[in-house]
Structure 1
Amino acid sequence: TPGHVRAVRKHKLAPVFAQQSIREMTRTGRTPQQVLDEAMWGVFQEGWRQGYGADADHLKTEEDADRCIEAGFTFFTIDPSAYVDNEVDTADAATLEAKVAALPWDALETTLADLRRAYLGQHFQVGPYELSFEERTLMQALAKYGGAIAHTARMYRHIAGRMGNRSFELEMSVDETEVPTSPAEHFFVARELQRLGVRWISLAPRFVGRLEKGVDYIGDLEEFEAHLKLHVAIARTLGPYKLSLHSGSDKFALYPLFARHAGELFHLKTAGTSYLEALRAVAELDPPLFREILDFARARYETDRATYHVSALLDRVPKASDVPDDALPALLEQFDTRQVLHVTFGSVLTATDADGRPRFRDRLLAVLQENEETYYRLLEAHFDRHLAPFDAA
């Protein structure tokens, strides 16, 4: 957090210093209370007095939300990806009808006939663009996101009930899915959430192209920009609310586009890139420890990659013994090595030796604690790169 504070002081974005998903908490052996407390101590250390957010990220169950509410989080990111149907884009009409019939219509509080009247034959103006729905477009949006809409409404109502009179903010995320969210689908999701009384501050669609962990955007920038303009127009028209870029770390090619077209309606979400800067510090300060972590990460990668969208290949990641000490930090710039180190963070931090003692965690933390300023310097420089494109927005 101190490194994050030092970067934010020089730029214009409002910070969310406490942010970790339940998945990441589980993999690192942390609790929601620890995440919130440790960010708070970093805030105190740096004398930050301008407020900050606390995001309980990628919540999938009411039980997970309850743990974060109890700890004091005020921003809740709902992850309904388990309820998104990724097969509808290639489904035939009969399959789509069956999928739509199986939706939780009681929770959606409407009927297919009502939705047909609300969307078919209508023309919706969103900024300079016009959207319309054919039968196939509507059925596809319904089948793909109907369950996710119902789940988000259920989670929102549960959180609102638990928070009582306390203020909170909500984000709805469908980024961790296989296929992109079309502008029409984005419009449909937002409009149906509104109908169900859900109030949210940001929405994370699945953008076109590949947004993989720890590396820059992979895809056609012109296509991304064209889609982004439509998504921004929808967010302005139906909100305004922010567009949230998940797996937002290191997407340097995209930041100027968001700054230009979304302006203040943008939420940049990062996480694992700060861990990679910690490893960069270890590579500089304790090469033998970094070598151990790298070889361990190579051994864990095929298992740990299962819950991430990554494409790193192990045969492109050098063995630690093949790299001289002074070249180790540069491995953090290499695509495949970054991803392998990124997605194995949980295994590294929870690994134990034959006696059940932490294998890496205590030594890694000791290096950072004994060389705090090195780690903060690396974080500050890294986040300057993230934040600088938005200074003129």
Structure 2
Amino acid sequence: MFEQQPFTQISESVTERDGTAYALVNSDKPGESQLLVRGTTEGFEGDTLADGSLIGPHSAHNAAVLRQRLPWLQPAVLGLQTSAGFGDRLGIATPGHVLATRGTGVAPIYAQQSVRENSRTGRTPQEVVDDAMWGAFEAGWHEPWGADADHLKTLEDIPPFVDAGYTFYTIDPGEYVDDAVETDDEETLQRKVARLPWADLQTTLAETIERYQRSVELDDRTLTFNQHELYKALAKYGGAVAHTARMARRLQELQGQRPFEMEMSVDETGTTTALLEHFYIAAELKRLQVPFVSLAPRFAGRFEKGVGYIGDLNELTQNINGHASIMRHFDNSYKLSLHTGSDKFEVYPIAVPATNGLVHLKTAGTSYLEALRLIASIDRPLFREIWDFTRSRYETDRRTYHVSARLEETLPAEQLTDEQLPELLNQFAPRQVLHVTFGSVLDTYGSDLQRILHANLPAYYTYIQRHFDKHLEAFKRQK
């Protein structure tokens, strides 16, 4: 197929279905490609060649037609498989993600972006899905992959992701989580519980007390809801459960008969999710028939952006084992989700055996950091400029993230040698500074980054694969 020149085909992309052949071919611009269709070309936009084949752009229109022709390029639901989400803030990282995923048995979510990330990168939900699809096509990925509408907070957030064909919806009801209950007195707790949206919870306080004020036998421990602990769980998470149920109902209305799955995420809150609180959340979501496939609690210790786990690993081991025992109590009907999961290499060997693989790993900005690592190696003047710029933006951009890096722990570019520049990506404080300033960097240097990365895509894919090979090692399906 595609023997005719002058096109240079990307071999992994070549595929045939129902008598029509498809491939990506390199264009005149470095790192850019076009779609070549030979056979039935109806519906595609582009230029018709002398032999009747068609060559066209990476347009939204062509992406939609290609998804109809090649069903494996449509996002799918992944269920309870061990899974991982790969955020891609530049829209070009998916072939590297495929290289790392292939052969591991880990079900991938290649399109993953939050409303916050879309606003900072200037991309739409449809563009995120299309970019991931083109990357999966380029790399020859024919297995199921998902699309995660990450950290949805309001009913108004949902429609653009539904329209773009997302299959996984992460509901973030963090604004309805009341962390102050940890220090509230009994009178305050009772007042907060009385004000809960009981109509949305489809129950009453009296029914809830009867349902939960008891002991629960798990496989390795006993949980006991006395009135104080129950009221804390209600006051802290009752509003979040109600909001998640509202979001689920809206999703069901919009999705219609199309399958989808949901995650509830309370990781970006101020206090740890107690085991009793996890039990309450899961039991209420099931009672309300919310179709959740995973739950992201706030674990013990700190999961900060772009760096390893901060805390006592023995405590975390006990904590994850406890959360996993609750998951087993509910017949292993959902997964535990590790949010802000990138670069937590100490955590993966704990989480995988504790959950018996019922786990979802969510990463966001680590592929962007690998792009900066490459830039630091091949265009040092640009990286120096970016580094000083990120230092100037850090105090502003960090406000919406849980990070603890301090600027005084970093040095300006003029005090660093060329050899020290790539090493910044291995250091705690510089790594966080670079991580949370991505939106400002892309606003200012986005075209420069894209130009250099497109000219060095094989190297970028290698960087990504090497980095995610380390992430996915503990998650590989044992044969």
Query: TM-score band, normalised by the shorter chain?
Result: over 0.9
Say what the alpha-carbon RMSD is for the aligned residues: 0.9
Is residue 237 from structure 1 mapped to residue 322 from structure 2 by the alignment? no
Cα distance in 2 between the residues matched to 1:292 and 1:12:
40
Is residue 361 from structure 1 mapped to residue 453 from structure 2 by the alignment? no
CA positional deviation for 1:374: 1.0
Is residue 391 from structure 1 mapped to residue 476 from structure 2 by the alignment? yes
2:296 alignment partner in structure 1:
204
Is residue 262 from structure 1 mapped to residue 355 from structure 2 by the alignment? yes
More helix by share: 1
Is residue 275 from structure 1 mapped to residue 368 from structure 2 by the alignment? yes
CA positional deviation for 1:126: 2.1
CA positional deviation for 1:240: 2.0
Preserved contact between residue 173 and residue 266 of structure 2 (Cα < 8 Å):
yes
| Of 242, 262, 265, the match for 1:173 | 265
Cα distance in 1 between the residues matched to 2:169 and 2:320:
24
1:155 alignment partner in structure 2:
247
CA positional deviation for 1:111: 1.1
Preserved contact between residue 240 and residue 265 of structure 1 (Cα < 8 Å):
no
- 1:131 match: secondary structure: strand
Is residue 221 from structure 1 mapped to residue 316 from structure 2 by the alignment? no
Is residue 92 from structure 1 mapped to residue 177 from structure 2 by the alignment? no
Preserved contact between residue 11 and residue 391 of structure 1 (Cα < 8 Å):
yes
The letter of the residue matching 1:113 is A
Q: Cα deviations across residues 6-60 of structure 1 (Å, max 9, x unaligned)?
A: 0001422111000011110111111000100000000011000011010000001
Preserved contact between residue 308 and residue 343 of structure 2 (Cα < 8 Å):
yes
Instruction: Report the TM-score, using the length of structure 1 for normalisation.
Output: 0.96
Cα distance in 1 between the residues matched to 2:353 and 2:203:
38
1:114 alignment partner in structure 2:
207
State the aligned residue count. 384
- 1:15 match: secondary structure: strand
Long gaps (5+) in structure 2: 1-93
Preserved contact between residue 105 and residue 111 of structure 1 (Cα < 8 Å):
yes
CA positional deviation for 1:136: 0.6
Cα distance in 2 between the residues matched to 1:234 and 1:344:
37
- 2:304 match: secondary structure: coil
More strand by share: 2
- 1:213 match: secondary structure: coil
Q: Cα deviations across residues 150-202 of structure 1 (Å, max 9, x unaligned)?
A: 00000001001110111000000000000000000000011011111111100
Written as runs of structure 1 = structure 2, the 5 A alignment for 1:18-167 is 18-120=111-213, 122-167=214-259
Cα distance in 2 between the residues matched to 1:133 and 1:186:
12
Query: Which shifted more, 180-189 or 237-246?
Result: 237-246
Cα distance in 1 between the residues matched to 2:477 and 2:442:
38
Preserved contact between residue 305 and residue 340 of structure 2 (Cα < 8 Å):
yes
Long gaps (5+) in structure 1: 352-359
Cα distance in 1 between the residues matched to 2:181 and 2:392:
36
1:295 alignment partner in structure 2:
388
1:3 alignment partner in structure 2:
96
The letter of the residue matching 2:450 is L
| Of 324, 332, 335, the match for 2:428 | 335
- 1:124 match: secondary structure: strand
- 2:454 match: secondary structure: helix
Cα distance in 2 between the residues matched to 1:266 and 1:311:
27
Is residue 372 from structure 1 mapped to residue 457 from structure 2 by the alignment? yes
1:357 alignment partner in structure 2:
none
CA positional deviation for 1:227: 1.0
CA positional deviation for 1:102: 1.4
- Return the index of the structure with the highest Cα Rg: 2
Preserved contact between residue 310 and residue 339 of structure 1 (Cα < 8 Å):
yes
- Aligned sequence identity (%): 55
Cα distance in 1 between the residues matched to 2:414 and 2:449:
19
The letter of the residue matching 1:96 is L
Preserved contact between residue 267 and residue 298 of structure 2 (Cα < 8 Å):
yes
- 2:179 match: secondary structure: coil
